[in-house]
Amino acid sequence: MKNLPLLLSALLLFLIISCNNSIKEPEKLEYALCIHGGAGTILKKNMSPEREKEYFDKLDEALTVGDSVLKNGGSALDAVELTIHVLENSPLFNAGKGSVFTHSGKNELDASIMWGKDLNAGAVAGVGNIKNPISAARKVMENSEHVMLSGKGASIFAQQEGLTIVDSSYFFTESRWNYLQQILNKEREMKRTDRHGTVGCVALDKEGNLAAGTSTGGMTNKRFGRIGDSPIIGAGTYANNKTCAVSCTGHGEYFIRLGIARDIASLMEYQNLSIDDATGIVLDKLNQINGLGGFIALDKYGNPAMKMNTSGMYRGYVNSEGVKEKYMYK
């Protein structure tokens, strides 16, 4: 009987090992990709059929580009960067070409990118002459010792890296300019739901690597060099091969305060929650402090989550099994 405790311990260890070995990993998709084009007051009653088609066509184009990269063995980083280029180059979204104007009538763009394989990341903030800020963020990640560069320094770095530099007039769109004038002339007031506008992409490649990227034109009528969550790793963007990749859109101050992107990954890592459960919990946290917005996330198996507490979010998903989905309204 002296050896009974040892026998029981051995038996318990055997049972634990057996149980662990019997737990099967969820089936992993070969690759997957998810995008968003901003969250806010997006209502079907306010959308003409022609305008709705423009948005759906652009979302489809972005998904097609990302799908092509991943299908042909490209990295999640390449897929994220090139997919976001499509959205940055469109005047439909508040990023790149379609960026909104600050109080002083300028464009100040932010972007970030993260590589889930090694947790490397890069970001730029407050830039006004880089055509594709997401590419500048990637250059910061890969070709500098820093994570974030801002303003003039970020532009000098981007130029040295051979990125396309444009005149500020490139970012001018009449609708964005007129909107600022309405605010300045007090013809309308800024609403909470006007504060959202970002594009983002998360991807899983055939090597099992995750990546996330986010790009934005910021907030209409912003002052004093305000920076939102989009270029802040852990707030607007996060990727970790152990868990998930996340890109956010919304009223950035709330996303910064909650560290939303990292929080989703942490819940999955430390509580072993699913992507759906983790994003649900974090959305509840956002609701509790009256923050508005949404986020897309992709777990290491390719399962997506696209959630918001606004009336809509431009979003879509594609994977290696031929699934392609696009949504606009809640």
Residue 145 CA from chain centroid, whole number: 23
Q: Give me the amino acid identity at 10.
A: A
Residues near 259 by beta carbon (within 8 Å), at least 6 away in sequence? 234, 235
User: Rounded distance, CA 70 to CA 61, Å?
Assistant: 15
Helix, strand counts (H, E) of the chain: 9, 12
CA-wise closest residue to 230 among 94, 116, 325, 107: 94
The residue annotated as part of the active site, out of 102, 173, 198, 249, is 198
Decide: 165 and 155 in contact? Cβ < 8 Å: yes
Please confirm, yes or no, whether 41 is among the known catalytic residues: no
Strands 120-127 and 237-239: unpaired
Residues catalogued as catalytic: 198
